[in-house]
Structure 1
Amino acid sequence: MAADGARTHDLVVYGATGFVGRLLADYLAGHAPEGTRIALAGRSRARLEEVRAALPPAGRNWALLEADSTDPESLRALAESTRVLATTVGPYARYGLPVVEACARAGTHYADLTGEVLFVRDAIDRCDAVARETGARIVHACGYDSIPSDLSTFLLGRRAAADGAGGLRDVQLVATARGGFSGGTIDSMRAQVEALQENPALRRVIGDPFALSPDRAEEPDTRQPRDAGLPTRTADGRWTAPFVMAPFNTRIVRRSNALQDWAYGRELRYSEVMGTGGGPVGAVTAAGVTAGLLGAVSAMSFAPTRGLLDRVLPAPGTGPSEAAREKGWFRMVVDATAEDGRRYRATAGGKGDPGYAATAVMLGEAALALALDGDRLPDRAGSLTPASAMGEVLVERLRAAGHTYEVTER
């Protein structure tokens, strides 16, 4: 494990030449406090120089570090050089485990953007114990997957506890957003489908609502809502469709609950759906979204149709234009019932394409919290979640960055 005095950087952006890596670097150059020691890392120094030259003035003198996920020695040196490593290099199941392992051994805090259940499960099994020994905070899901879900439920649990309402019971998130897909997101979805084809037994992991639990045997015997597979209606008449991120986000929230000694309640039932509006238009949209998701998953499951999708979907390293990113937004409404029957609502939202512009804010603030706010963070190490690793500190940072996180009693 590297001594803090030997670390020459506070924060390294690994994957800085990728689509989201560039957005993250740009955000940090405009928002990191003066004097924060930041470096950019990737496989090609020439490409790193191009990224650095296009940054706001504060980032144009940042150090450049060459590292490759296939070169363990380069990852060891990278991890030992910094207090925090934020990585955008995916698919994480394909490239991420060596990076997590290097950070865990070095005692280096780590943040990523993964939405891959299988990767996080592997990272927990391989690296949690080592990271707890070295003091590394390994924090997955620090973007739109899954910060709004995780922090909203964290705030609901705290509010119910402060009011003496007991734990949370039934919690449902309804997501609405405007945004696009990048090639990296598509590549991650493809990698998980391929993993399931190679090892069908992994379907049990994917299907387990407590797949990311720190101790599966200790989880309460609470029947969890199934990830929605059909259009449904909320109590107030709004139509909903399956939410593509629900199978991952729900498991992160449940892990957060367990890591905090079930602070949200032992009877927590948590689900997520996508809001499509009311009336006939909402119904038709819900049906269309459902059919589209089923079609995409089916197409990715077969090599011939997967090849056709590759011709029309974004390639790795690409994503929405700047104009499209600026027009994007997200809003999540999370309704909860506490053990004593009181009802609460959390609202999370922000401007910018949720998977890219808003995600750069989320990962940027998470990385800065790990690098600069250590004395205010919960006293935890190991394989963590945004809520269990940073909690209220990250909520404060995101509010200051312009995102909304509110809780009211209904």
Structure 2
Amino acid sequence: MTNSPSFDLIVYGATGFTGRLICEHLNATYGVNRDINWAMAGRSRSKLEQVRNELGLDTTVALLVADTNDKASLNKLVSMTKVLISAVGPYQNYGSDVIKACVENGTDYVDLCGEPAWMHQMIGEYNTAAKSTGARIVFSCGFDSIPFDMGTYFLQQIAQEKLGGPVCRIKCRIRNMSGMASGGTVASFKATMAAAEKSPELIDVLVNPFALTEGFTGPEQPPGDKKIFEDDINSWSGPFIMATINTKNIHRSNFLLGHQYGEDFVYDEMVLLGSEEKPKKPGEMGFDMSLKPGEGPSKEQREAGFYDIVFYGTASDGQTIQVSVKGDIDPGYGSTSKMIAEAAICLLENTETSGGCLTSAPAMGASLIERLQNQAGLIFTVE
């Protein structure tokens, strides 16, 4: 890192719904400038002051003003911190200059991105430079894609221990879930669709599971776009809206890990719909997609949410391993805000990984699983 930062972490977008929750988690878990020296950043000082007061934070929490339209203010902001948490999306609209500033300053970065076309573009533009400056740019550190990326990584570590090598096939299935997709996720999805309409070549990126693996293409992957009955699970399975981004991130993780999962690795994600002749509809899983940016569920609604994701691994010789990842709170807000905060702290404390445009598993590995279990309410289990 080329700068001499004043802060360990800065939450950029602190006045947004998820940004507020990130600040709330940092305050509740680490206090103010006790264990982690952190600050809040956004476009408006008055809004930052209002949020700091509403959250009951100490007035010593620093408030920093920066605007994505003002490159000088962004450069100044990222030079002041070791890790930037960006909750300012859609990233394709507001995130490119933030990435540029972090890369140029050698500042580590985490976000909540679920926009594969933009990530593909950022990797192409900044991966080499980030390796040079040491900036670790870690995309998708919320519900997309940490439980899925780290669940896959967890299963493969168990496979190494128990089978002596990786499994070549993993089926990820949403076993149960209650919660809401964040308004930012919905806005990002709409922005991606709008961009694809203007630039049809983006559709090739969106439909390609290996869009983020920089030239590597593995075996054909299951489409996951139709309802199917799976005899081995004895259940109907249906499409999962977040599979498009998660599958790309997991193949990138495998790519960045030197193909620890194998070059023949096959992975897909679907929602379990039950064994009945008339299965549930995927939408009945309770994942509400109606929220707008800045909106979100109440504290009671967040605390009533949960998720239960199961991973079925099969080795080339037919041996199987099954693991699960469970979260104790609403996935799109409560769990997401904790996960990104803990990912940022994990980067802060684990300085041995090198720079580049990364995903959670190669950037943080087993130390992130430990943090998520200790501080973010996730449970990783071998079943």
TM-score normalised over the length of structure 1: 0.88
Structure 1 CA distance, aligned partners of 2:59 and 2:236?
Answer: 48
Higher mean alpha-carbon deviation, 25-34 vs 326-335, is at 25-34
Q: Across the two proteins, how many residue pairs are aligned to each other?
A: 378
SS in 2 for 1:320: coil
Identify which of 14, 23, 30 aligns with 2:21.
23
Instruction: State the partner residue of 1:403.
Output: 378
Q: Which of 223, 226, 249 is the matching residue for 1:226?
A: 223
Candidates 364, 385, 388, aligned match of 2:362: 388
CA distance in 2 between partners of 1:277 and 1:195 (Å): 36
Q: Residues of 1 paired with 2:363 and 2:333: CA distance? A: 22
Counterpart amino acid of 2:255?
Answer: A
Tell me whether 1:242 sits opposite 2:233 in the alignment.
no
DSSP 3-state at the match of 1:166 = coil
SS at match of 1:275: strand
For residues 43-192 of structure 1, the aligned pairs below 5 Å read 43-57=43-57, 59-175=58-174, 176-192=176-192
1:15–1:42 contact (8 Å) kept in structure 2: yes
1:335 is matched with which residue: 299, 312, 322? 312
User: What SS class does the counterpart of residue 281 from structure 2 fall into?
Assistant: helix
| Matches of 2:113 and 2:30, distance apart in 1 | 23
Give the match for residue 32 of structure 1.
30
Question: Deviation per CA, 1:52-98, whole angstroms, max 9, x where unpaired?
Answer: 113355x5421000011111111100110000000111101111111
Query: Aligned to 1:285, which of 281, 285, 289?
Result: 281
Return the letter of the residue paired with 2:199: N
Deviation at 1:49, TM superposition (A): 0.6
Gaps of 5+ in 1: 297-312
**Paired position in structure 2 for 1:7:** 5
Percent identity between the aligned chains?
38
Q: Do the aligned partners of 2:83 and 2:109 also contact (CA within 8 Å) in 1?
A: yes
SS in 2 for 1:279: coil
**Alignment deviations for residues 228-254 of structure 1 (CA, whole Å, 9 cap, x no partner):** 333544523222211000011001000
> What SS is found at the alignment partner of 1:272?
strand
Deviation beyond 6 Å, 4+ runs, structure 1:
none
User: Shift of residue 35 of structure 1?
Assistant: 3.5
Measured in 2, the distance between the counterparts of 1:226 and 1:198 equals 25
- Asked whether the 8 Å contact 1:182–1:316 carries over to 2, the reply is yes
Q: 2:21 aligns to what SS in structure 1?
A: helix
Whichever residue aligns with residue 351 of structure 1, its letter is: D
Q: Distance in 2 between matches of 1:359 and 1:14?
A: 15
Q: For 1:199-348, what aligned pairs fall within 5 Å after superposition?
A: 199-213=199-213, 215-216=214-215, 218-220=216-218, 222-233=219-230, 235-280=232-277, 283-286=279-282, 313-348=290-325
Question: Would the aligned equivalents of 1:325 and 1:353 in 2 still touch at CA under 8 Å?
Answer: yes
What SS does the corresponding residue of 1:369 show, helix, strand or coil? helix
Shift of 1:164: 4.1
The one-letter code sitting in structure 2 at the alignment partner of 1:346 is: V
Q: 2:22 touches 2:338 (CA, 8 Å); kept in 1? A: yes
Residues 258 and 182 from structure 1, CA distance in 2 versus in 1: closer, same or farther, beyond 3 angstroms?
A: closer
Offset, 1:123: 1.2
In 2, Cα distance between equivalents of 1:177 and 1:134: 40
Alignment deviations for residues 212-267 of structure 1 (CA, whole Å, 9 cap, x no partner): 10x31x444x1211133335445232222110000110010000001000011121
Cα separation, 2, equivalents of 1:330 and 1:289: 14
**Matched-pair contact (CA < 8 Å) for 1:91–1:188:** yes
CA distance in structure 2 between the aligned counterparts of 1:365 and 1:46, rounded to whole angstroms: 27
Name the CA distance, whole Å, in 1 between partners of 2:181 and 2:381: 27
AA partner of residue 10 (structure 1):
D
Deviations 1:306-339 (A, max 9, x none): xxxxxxx433211112211110001100000123
Show the counterpart of 2:350.
374
Question: What is the alpha-carbon root mean square deviation over aligned residues?
Answer: 2.0
- CA deviations 1:144-167 (Å, max 9, x no partner) are 000011011111112222234422
SS at match of 2:147: helix
